[in-house]
Amino acid sequence: MDTVRSLVQPITHNLPAPIRDLGVSIVGETCYKALLLDVDIENTECVKLAVSKGLGIGIVGASAVVKVPQILKLLKSKSAEGVSFLSYLLETSAYLISLAYNVRNGFPFSTFGETAFIMGQNVVISMLVLNYSGRPAMAALFVAALAIGAAALFAENVVDMQALSYLQAGAGVLGVASKVPQILAIWQEGGTGQLSAFAVFNYLAGSLSRIFTTLQEVDDKLILYGFISGFALNAILALQMVYYWNAPSAKARGKRKEVVPVEARGSSTAVPKKGPTTRRRG
């Protein structure tokens, strides 16, 4: 350990000021000194905090593109098959409430930042699903309702903290409930349709990581229980994705049934045999 410390300390003690300030802003002065200046990796509290911060920053960074594959898949196929609008409606509503709750409580951005990025992508996906489902007018109504809800949730004179706490408890239920319509849609379709595997598996990893970061940095049971429940249902979605990986959708199976094999048509299209003819005698 002393050898490692002697090699690392000349570097960590001479970091540029901007990098040092960034490190302090992430883990705090105490843990920055313990981990980077003293190179004390036996300080378990600071190590756990650093891991939590690293995971949090990674989740926030990944969240900026986590649903881009889903958006591209919808745009390419011009179909919303297998994607539940109700699921996205519930999830977006839950994320909007959680975003307001975290911001107004002053929690570290690394513990909830992905909420804002994913919510924005959810809005785009919801509008595409409505458009490809033949309900473009509802897309405008959906965006307008979200804007009104956001204005109310972030205004302290409209929704006070006690009311927002109750809404956050409900948001946890909404977040869990949002997975149910998607699970049912996959089961009814018998396939995953246009659902993005990248988004599903990233959600699973993200919700598991969020359990750890919440335990380390946020002393709030409402948020913790929401992530635990979300992880359980994300696991079901991931299992469905694996099970139905190459399964055709219900629509595709229906088209396949309409095509009757040539062999099956042979009996109905065969030329009927002519009966015996009688010859006239002249």
Distance separating alpha carbons of residues 103 and 96, to the nearest angstrom: 11
More confident: 100 or 26: 100
Percent of the chain with pLDDT over 70: 85
Residues 159 and 239 occupy one common structural domain:
yes
Q: Is residue 142 part of a domain?
A: yes
Of the listed ranges 176-180, 181-185, 233-237, 258-262, the least confidently predicted one is: 258-262
When pLDDT is averaged across residues 59-80 and rounded to a whole number, the result is 85
Report the run of H or E that residue 238 belongs to, with start and end. helix 221-243
Q: Is residue 235 part of a domain?
A: yes
Count of domains observed in the chain: 2
8 A C-beta contact, residue 71 and residue 83: no
Residues 101 and 229 occupy one common structural domain:
yes
Residues 129 and 15 occupy one common structural domain:
no
In the three-class reduction of DSSP (H, G, I as helix; E, B as strand; rest coil), residue 158 is classed as coil
Q: Is residue 278 part of a domain?
A: no
Q: Is residue 255 part of a domain?
A: no
Q: Is residue 257 part of a domain?
A: no
Residues shown for the chain: 282
Residues 81 and 169 occupy one common structural domain:
yes
pLDDT in tens, 167-204: 988 887 887 788 888 888 788 777 777 777 777 888 78
Domain that holds residue 22: 2-42
Q: Would you tell me how many other CB atoms lie within 10 Å of the CB of residue 29?
A: 10
When pLDDT is averaged across residues 142-153 and rounded to a whole number, the result is 93
**Identity (one letter) of the amino acid at 203?**
Y
When pLDDT is averaged across residues 71-87 and rounded to a whole number, the result is 87
Residues 209 and 242 occupy one common structural domain:
yes
Let me know how many helices (H) and strands (E) the chain has, helices first.
13, 0
CA dihedral defined by 227, 51, 105, 100, rounded to 10 degrees?
A: -50
Residues 229 and 194 occupy one common structural domain:
yes
Residues 141 and 225 occupy one common structural domain:
yes
Q: Is residue 260 part of a domain?
A: no
pLDDT in tens, 105-131: 888 887 788 888 989 999 999 999 999
Residues 119 and 159 occupy one common structural domain:
yes
Distance separating alpha carbons of residues 153 and 183, to the nearest angstrom: 29
More confident: 205 or 275: 205
Residues 127 and 30 occupy one common structural domain:
no
8 A C-beta contact, residue 60 and residue 117: yes
Distance separating alpha carbons of residues 251 and 256, to the nearest angstrom: 9
What are the φ/ψ torsions at residue 209 (nearest 5 degrees)? -65, -35
Residues 150 and 10 occupy one common structural domain:
no
Residues 75 and 119 occupy one common structural domain:
yes
Q: Is residue 268 part of a domain?
A: no
What are the φ/ψ torsions at residue 271 (nearest 5 degrees)? -75, 125
Q: Is residue 16 part of a domain?
A: yes
More confident: 266 or 14: 14
When pLDDT is averaged across residues 141-165 and rounded to a whole number, the result is 92
Residues 23 and 84 occupy one common structural domain:
no
CA distances from 193 to 55, 72, 237, 240 (A): 31, 14, 13, 12
pLDDT at 251: 54
> Tokens 């409606």 belong to which residue?
89
Secondary structure (DSSP) of 34-102: IIIIS--TT-HHHHHHHHHHHHHHHHHHHHTTTTHHHHHHHHHHT--TT--HHHHHHHHHHHHHHHHHH
pLDDT at 38: 83
